[in-house]
Structures are given as C-alpha cells and as structure tokens.
Structure 1
Amino acid sequence: MPDSATTVAAPDAEPLLRTRGLSVHYGGVTANADIDLTVGAGEIVGLIGPNGAGKTTFVDAVTGFARSSGEVTLSGRRIDRAGPHRRRRAGMARTWQAGELFADLTVAQNLAVAVQRVGLRAMVLDVVNGSRPPAGVVEKALDVVGLTDVADRRPDELTLGQQKLVGVARALVGDTGLVLLDEPAAGLDTHESREFGGELRRIAATGVGILLIDHDMSLVLDVCDRLYVLDFGRVIAAGPPAEITNDPAVVAAYLGSAEVQAESDSGADDPAPDTSAGTVMTPVESTTTDETTTESTTTEETR
C-alpha cells in the first residue's frame, strides 16, 4: 500500500482529472463505455484489466488522441473538445508503451525535445537563436525523478530503470500536473520495479496526479491509492487495492480463479490449464500489451 509520503487529495476537493460517461466507439464496436474516473492531485490511481480491456484507448481518449463522447475535465475545466497539444499545455501529459528515447541525445536533451515549440515562428527563432527550453524546466523534471546526476549521459549509459524514469521525466517537463503512464514498468525486474515504485510515490508527493496502467500487480498494489478495473471497456470495480483484490468479479475477469492461484501458490507441477476453455491467466503470465496508437488500438483493444 502507498506510504505516508503520498499526498492524497481531500475528499471534498475538486479532482485534478475527472471523466464522466467517457465512451469510445469504432464503428459498431464499443471500446470504452460510460467510464467515470477521478484522479486527485498527489494521488496515484491504477487502471488495470485484461489485455484488450480498453485501458490504452481510455488514455488515448483522455489525452485527445481518440475521438470520444462524454466529459473530460482538468482541474474543473472541460477539455474534451481540445486537441492533444492544448491538453498538454493545460498540464496533462502521457507516456507511450513504445516511448523509446533518442539514443544520440543526452538525458537533458531528450527532455528539451519534449518542450520544443512547433510552428513557423518557432522554426525561425530556432534558426536565429538556437533551440533552448525555458530556464530550469529540464532541471526541475530531472530533480523530481532523481536523475539530476545523469543529465549529461546518453540513454545507453543508463540502467533500464533509469531509462524508464527518463521517459516519466519527459512527460513531467514543463507545467505538468497530471501524468498518465502506460505500462511504464514493462521489462523491469522485481528490484527495479520496487525502486521505480518508490520514485512514483516521490513524484506524487510533489502534488502531481498519476494514472498508472501496468500489469505488474506487485507495483500496482504497492503504490496505488485507488484502482479502477476495466473489462470489455467497462469499469467493473473501483476502490482501494485491498478491496479490489477480494472482489469476485475482478478475480474472475483478471486476477485468475482461486483454483489457478492455489496451484500457483503451492508450486504444483501439473500441466498448464487449457486456456481454450476460458481460464484467465494472471497478469504476470500475460505477455501481450495494449497497443500504443489510436489506429492499432482500434483492432487490439476491441477484440
């Protein structure tokens, strides 16, 4: 469970992020259906569910990369009609599952790219004066994730855990108040995942709201204040981690049957169950991830 360093928003405070009835349809297929979700300032909220449940589609919709209906508000202000770049400027950022870093740039330069202005005027200024991010923004983001001392290194000089944190820092650079993390711990071992979770708690303690999607249930249960569980695009449960892990609907849809977990706990050497009969694998066993773009999400998320 989250430690006391995490700052949780007061119950009566306006959530940093709120969605009401958020739905995404691709032709006759419903990828997200009437999702109501909140994330408070300084809060880590987990969004979990089986592969294809609609998690990445939800992030795409919230950040403006997928057309949706319903409401999305940031700090009480509706942004669901704004484009992705305007939502970014409003303080909302995201990571991508395949968010590779620029190998030929330093860590600081990777973050500087994230605040690079676009447009004709920006291009002219870049030619005349060179491209420089606002003073202090890169340093502040690196300090938040504890990577100030590697600012001048290149990604291949870092551990995998540090590379993941650079990706988070790239989302945090600038005036980011809310960050949506899509599978940020993929590929990390147990020790690296635990350290990564500690950094997420430290980030949340600064007041940043975090929506976390990940299949690493040890990480999710350790750092999240609340969880939402998606199945076939609908929220089937929401609440504190301890409550969610004991919810029969969640166990059946995502965490695996009691019989399967009992076999796993006992270390039985019996052959794997026949998944064609509908047995649900645990998140640790699953190797497929949600797609990272709106186009591929259309097919993967709605199968």
Structure 2
Amino acid sequence: MSDTTFATTAQRLLETRGLSVRYGGVSANTDIDLAVGAGEIVGLIGPNGAGKTTFVDAVTGFTKSSGSVSLAGSQLEKSSPHRRRRAGMARTWQAGELFTDLTVAQNLAVAVQSVGLRAMFSDIVNGSKPPADAIDRALTLVGLTDVADRRPGELTLGQQKLVGVARALVGDTRLVLLDEPAAGLDTHESKEFGTELRRIANTGIGVLLIDHDMSLVLDVCDRLYVLDFGKVIAQGPPAQILDDPAVVAAYLGSPEVEAAAPQNDWEEQA
C-alpha cells in the first residue's frame, strides 16, 4: 500500500518501501510502505500477532528482511543494527528492564558505551568517560534531569518508562521506535507519558509508536498505520482510521460486532 497520506511538508526521516519478512513459509510482514517525518508521532497499531514488533525488528536490523529502509535519504537495509543506531535510529524493547543497581544516568551511559576491540582497549588504557552532555540532553528531553542520580527502584513506573525512552534518545538520535512503551501505566501516567512524547517530537525527532493503549495512541499520534496479518490495511489521521470498516473488522471481527460493542472495546481489544 502506497503512502499517500504522508504530509509532504515534513522532512522524511524513516521510509520503508516493500519491506517484507518471511519465516519459512510464513509472511510476517508483506510489502510495507511506511514513513515517519521529522517532528511526527506516527502510530503503528493492529491486533496481537499482526507483525508490529517484527516490523520494528526489521527496520532496526535485528530481523532479515527484503525491501528498502532509509533514514533521511540514506539507505540502511544492508546495514547492521549498530550501524543503523550510529546513523541516528534507536528503539526500545517490550522487555526494556533497567539496571536496578545503576543510577538513571549510569543506565543511559551503558546505552552509549562503545563496542568492539578498539573501544575495549581504549577503555582499559584511558578509562571509560561517559558522555555527560549527551546523557543530560536525553534526560532533559524526557523531563528527568532531577532524578539522574536515583536508581530505578526509587522512581514511579511512569518515570521508569521515560528512562527507557531516554536510553534510546541518548546520543544523536533522529528517529526513535517505541515498542509498547506505556505498558502497565494507569490512565494518569499514560497521559503524562504522552505529554513527554509530544515534547520529544517537538524537538524534531521522529517517533514511531506501537502501543495497545488506544487513548494514548489516538491522543498523541499525527497519523496511524494499521497492520493485520502483516499487511497495512489502513493509514491516515486517527479520526479517519476509527471509521475505517477494515480496521473495525480487524479489531472486532466484523462491523456487526462493532455496532453492538461498547465504546471502550477499542482499548480492550487492542
């Protein structure tokens, strides 16, 4: 499905064309065209098993795929995950546990630790020097500079989730892909989390958001893509997506079921 609803005035950061993932004879993603612009929050939603996390794995290089992946015009489909990270593409993981024995700042320092034999030798000879400025910028983006010296166990769940986002933002991140970042948050925490996401996007960083919290998704996303069985079945502004019969059928089984369902079934079924 071509990306006809992308705002032409936005600078394209992420762009995938014909991205497909196969596991043996099973197609997990099929010909996905998707774009995220600078300063945009784009939602990727769909039923469980629709292929959302597989898509993020493919974009970030953790799963073999066909098709193209570009960041700000640079082709990355043949690049390793760490090269994509170096180019400015970062992600979170569904199981994004923090190091409980480290401070918030130290958790971020680990995320930007250099890898490889040369970096290891340099650390031994010169000692590791965490990039304090980069860490401070990331914590400022998510509003957590005042908890830099605390350990995760001293924070609220909402703050812990934001530390996970900050860990992805530390460094020269231009695009962040968030996989279920609001899982476990209550309504108030989710709303605050959405406020911080919007503040991040307002700095020009592109955000691709996967989450089952439909209140969050509908509140903060500029555009949505809907996956079902690995294919994009709808795309557009949130209000348009809510009225799409294909989306209703994917989430609730059929338009007739949706007509008889209570309003909050969107959130429950997501």
Give the CA deviation at 1:129: 2.7
Query: For residues 143 and 77 of structure 1, what CA distance do their matches in structure 2 show?
Result: 28
SS at match of 1:251: helix
Cα offset, 1:26, TM superposition: 0.8
Partner SS for 1:264 = coil
Q: Does 1:284 align with 2:268?
A: yes
User: CA separation in 2, counterparts of 1:227 and 1:41?
Assistant: 15
Please identify runs of 4+ aligned residues in structure 1 that moved more than 3 A: 255-263
1:98-150 Cα offsets, whole Å, 9 max, x none, are 01000000000000000000112211222233221234000000000000000
* 1:22 match: 19
Instruction: Note the alpha carbon deviations across 1:135-176, whole angstroms, 9 max, x for none.
Output: 400000000000000000000000000000000000000000
TM-score after normalising by structure 2: 0.93
Is the Cα contact below 8 Å between 1:14 and 1:76 reproduced in 2?
Answer: no
Q: What is residue 110 of structure 2 aligned with on the other side?
A: 113
Preserved CA contact (<8 Å) 1:50 1:283: no
After superposition, residues 1-303 of structure 1 pair within 5 angstroms as 11-254=8-251, 257=255, 259-260=257-258, 262-265=260-263, 282-285=266-269
Helix, strand or coil at the partner of 1:16: strand
Distance 1:12 1:207 in 2: 13
Distance 1:212 1:187, change over 3 A: same
- State the AA in 2 paired with 1:232: F
Structure 1 residue runs without a partner (length 5+)? 1-8, 268-280, 287-303
Distance change (3 Å), C-alpha of 1:184 and 1:127: same
**Whole-angstrom distance in 2 between the partners of 1:216 and 1:188:** 9
CA contact (8 A) 1:254 1:283 kept: no
Q: For residues 241 and 123 of structure 1, what CA distance do their matches in structure 2 show? A: 47
* Amino acid aligned to 1:36: D
Aligned equivalents of 1:58, 1:127: Cα separation in 2: 38
| Ranges in structure 2 where 5+ consecutive residues have no aligned partner | 1-5
Q: Normalised by the size of structure 1, how large is the TM-score?
A: 0.83
2:3 counterpart residue number: none
The count of residues paired between Structure 1 and Structure 2 equals: 264
Deviation at 1:80, TM superposition (A): 0.4
CA pair 58-191 structure 1, distance change in 2 beyond 3 A: same
Root mean square deviation of aligned Cα: 1.7
